[in-house]
Amino acid sequence: MNRATIRKLYREAIVSVFGCDDKELDAQLLKAVKEDIHYGDKAPGEWTHNSVLEIYCENGIPNASDIHDFSYEAREFGLDPSTAVSYNGDKWDTIDGLVNLMLEAMGRHERYHHEPYNSAVVGVWRS
């Protein structure tokens, strides 16, 4: 499988999941997906050099390990606190799902998944 295709699919899926379809509001994310997604063996940080892709989550791409807990604020405004927690790992699972769905639509049998390396780097691996 061509790594450029995988990179393109991850770029599109990241924007689809973390973006809001407004070019002005998504400007930082759009810039980050162009600059911060590298081939694993050519990535400047060499954190996951055996991976297919090495994605840097410091300039606009949300990392895969953050948890955003707004349950206190939800209680304050009378909302259900159980729905006020967001896990970035769940969103990255959705990204993997979108990429693999597109590969399936293309007739490809390869599957890919993400693995957080640390709070600033995500590696993408062939399953």
CA 55-63-78 angle, to 5 degrees, is 155
Per-residue model confidence as pLDDT tens for the chain (127 residues): 799 999 999 999 999 999 999 999 999 999 999 999 999 999 999 999 899 999 999 999 999 999 999 999 999 999 999 999 999 999 999 999 999 999 999 999 999 999 999 999 999 999 9
CA 12-17-19 angle, to 5 degrees, is 85
Range of the domain at 10: 3-126
Give the chain's domain count: 1
What's the token pair of residue 92? Answer: 């990255």
